[in-house]
Amino acid sequence: MAASFDFSHAPFDCLTPAERQQLGAHVDIAYFPQQSCLHEARSPVESLYVVIKGLISEHDEGEILGYYGPQDSFDARAMLSGQAQHRLMAVEDTLVFCLPRDLVLSLTQRNPVFGAFFYQDVAARFAVLANRPLQGQLQSMLMSRIDTAYLSKALWMDANDTVLAAARQMQKHHASCVLIHRTDGPAIFTRSDLRDFVISEQTAATTLLGPLAKAPLRTIEADAFLYQAQLLMTTHTVQRLVVTRQGEVIGILEQVELLSFLANQSHIVLARIERAESLDELMAANRNMEELVATLHRNGVKVRQIADLLSELRRHLLARLFTLLAPAEVLEHVCLLVLGSEGRGEQILKTDQDNALLIEDGYSHPALAEICQRFNDTLLAFGYPTCPGGIMLNQPDWCCEVSVMRKHLLSWMRAAHADNVMRLAIWADARPVAGQSRLLDQVSLAAMPELDGAFLSRFALPILQFEVPLSMFSRLVLGAGAERDRLDVKRGAIFPLVHGVRSLAVQAGMGACNSFERIDLLEAQKLLPTPLAQDLRETLSFFHMLRLQHGLNLVAQGRAPDNLIDPAALSSLERDLLKDALGVVKRFRQLIEHHFQLARIA
């Protein structure tokens, strides 16, 4: 049979020669004149289509969801369910290959990589594909499960045992800690506790362990990833974690064990930050962070995880910088905040500074203004550009007493036009990094009493500001215009997702700043249906990944990272994912539009 079907495009390029031959023998060709309908929504679908020539548009209640051009296959969901979800129309005279549904389905079962392409659930597809580099030799130790690493045995002792007995146990088993049964739950006694005990010059043979042991335990489940353990140790500055399986202690993960995996990685950078005694040392640590991003990404670590680690490190960096600049006494009365994406912990590559300082009512310090100025200047020298919106410590609006900040917020809420809404949105993501976090609690957006429906609608409104750039594909396919269209992944995709989630979180009065945490919480409180929550998580990480890849490429070329992605430069698989992801954005945008009744005020 003539081999007219082109197997060089995803996902067909992953079929074996035998599978290609089998599929090639069952390909039909259909022709749809301009404006004709391939199928209506909810009609049965017996084929997967691949465009030979022409252009197909997908419609949902009069709205165009997307386009399919040459080599694009569609509609994966309809093929799996056997029923069309949306109406498909020929924009131009279009020829398509028709692949029989039964055969494609049986191929998806036999060939998992091919199958991954068609998994009905967008999220499942993303998950399989995002994990792909990890299946190869690039598998990073960071992504191993905790229980695959070497765990030390947990040594249990009684609260009435003596310190001497504990020291003997530790010596005998080469252990660095023992766990203690106490009436208030398990506690831990470590080598450094022993050291402190020796310095206190009490008698080891008579002193009881119970009161000396520390609680609560820092624990982690055995099926978590090593990077998460790394993160916990980083966050709590502890040297070991108690590993549990369904709540039962199964062993101890020592930092040395982890570090032997992760030499040269995040913890080293953190240690450099924490130990920095001068701005020069801090700057060196800052450079390490950039290298770390590239290393982690090369090793196939998921972007969300890189972002988690990096924002943690960067918050330490900012905190260290502030404590280097400001006297300890000042820290008792102020709270240093990071705002916007930095506050959400979703910034991977360095971008503009977004920071603020809350000052306790009635407190003042003669050097404060100068400290703030130096803080911003030093960050600039570290390579963090100044914020074009002026959201920085050295601006009076963003460096003020708590009561003044409350007045600002109230006036912005009252006059909720676009600029003020963006200020409030940035404030909604505020996260304390140094000083007294209680200061923020008094003026966090979720704590403001004026959060009524009218305000929330105004707050959510900017989500309608930018069109979801689906139509870009039609222009791409038609090849009109010399200048190829680029996708502004921040405006067109990340912003609507982040802002929609933020609006829902503010409405629910949630304290979480991170979009993923917000989605988790919204899902847990049944404010988001689980399938959508899953789609949102995976879609957001997909866009973050696109942005990171793009940014790293630009950095490697010595250019400043931007958010403009050229879809033509993506693989056809990525392009397909991009289309699905933009579809999720569009769906979510509509949900927000209905939820906050934006049509009323738009």
Q: Quick one: tokens of 293?
A: 């991003």
25 binds another protein (CB under 8 A): yes
CA 471 to chain centre: 26
Cβ proximity to another protein, 26 vs 214, nearer residue: 26
Size of the site for another protein (CB under 8 A): 19
Cβ proximity to another protein, 31 vs 150, nearer residue: 31
Residue among 2, 18, 482, 556 that touches another protein (CB under 8 A)? 2
Give strand ranges (E) for 238-377: 240-245, 248-254, 334-338, 355-359
Bond from prior residue into 531 cis (ω within 30 degrees of 0): no
Per CB under 8 A, the segment of 26-34, 108-116, 306-314, 545-553 that binds another protein is: 26-34
Residue among 12, 15, 19, 32 that touches another protein (CB under 8 A)? 32
Cβ proximity to another protein, 373 vs 572, nearer residue: 572
Q: Which of 354, 332, 362, 322 is nearest to 435 (CA)?
A: 332
427 binds another protein (CB under 8 A): no
CA 171 vs CA 175, 188, 578, 579: distances in Å: 7, 16, 57, 60
198 binds another protein (CB under 8 A): no
Alpha helices in 326-392 (DSSP H): 328-331, 340-344, 368-381
217 binds another protein (CB under 8 A): no
33 binds another protein (CB under 8 A): yes
In the block, residue with structure tokens 């992801």: 581
Half-sphere exposure of 584 (CA within 13 A, CB side): 26
Per CB under 8 A, the segment of 22-30, 170-178, 387-395, 485-493 that binds another protein is: 22-30
Answer for the pair 497, 329: CB distance below 8 angstroms, yes or no: no
Cβ proximity to another protein, 100 vs 389, nearer residue: 100
Cβ proximity to another protein, 27 vs 213, nearer residue: 27
Per CB under 8 A, the segment of 7-15, 29-37, 153-161, 272-280 that binds another protein is: 29-37
Name the CA dihedral angle for 586, 587, 591, 593, rounded to a multiple of 10 degrees: 20
Least distance (Å) between residue 38 CB and another protein? 10
Q: Which of residues 68-107 bind another protein (CB under 8 A)?
A: 93, 95, 98, 100
27 binds another protein (CB under 8 A): yes
Cβ proximity to another protein, 22 vs 239, nearer residue: 22
Cβ proximity to another protein, 84 vs 220, nearer residue: 84
Per CB under 8 A, the segment of 24-32, 322-330, 488-496, 575-583 that binds another protein is: 24-32
Cβ proximity to another protein, 32 vs 459, nearer residue: 32
55 binds another protein (CB under 8 A): no
Least distance (Å) between residue 100 CB and another protein? 7
Q: Is 12 exposed, middle or buried (0-12, 13-18, 19+ CB in 10 A)?
A: buried
Least distance (Å) between residue 19 CB and another protein? 15
Distance separating alpha carbons of residues 593 and 210, to the nearest angstrom: 57
Q: For residue 400, give every residue at least 6 positions away whose Cβ sits within 8 Å of its Cβ, in sequence order, or none.
A: 357, 358, 359, 408
Cβ proximity to another protein, 36 vs 135, nearer residue: 36
Distance separating alpha carbons of residues 152 and 64, to the nearest angstrom: 58
53 binds another protein (CB under 8 A): yes
Least distance (Å) between residue 57 CB and another protein? 18
601 binds another protein (CB under 8 A): no
29 binds another protein (CB under 8 A): yes
Q: Is 136 exposed, middle or buried (0-12, 13-18, 19+ CB in 10 A)?
A: exposed
Q: Quick one: tokens of 413?
A: 């809420």
Least distance (Å) between residue 48 CB and another protein? 13
∠ at Cα 125 (121, 128), nearest 5°?
A: 135
Q: For residue 375, give every residue at least 6 positions away whose Cβ sits within 8 Å of its Cβ, in sequence order, or none.
A: 321, 322, 325, 355, 393, 394
Residue 80, Cβ neighbours under 10 Å: how many? 18
Cβ proximity to another protein, 205 vs 480, nearer residue: 480
Tell me, residue by residue from 100 to 129, as one string, x for binding to another protein by CB under 8 A and - for no binding: x-----------------------------
Cβ proximity to another protein, 27 vs 170, nearer residue: 27
Q: Say how many Å lie between the first and final Cα of the chain, rounded.
A: 58
Residues that bind another protein (CB under 8 A): 1-2, 4, 25-33, 36, 52-53, 93, 95, 98, 100
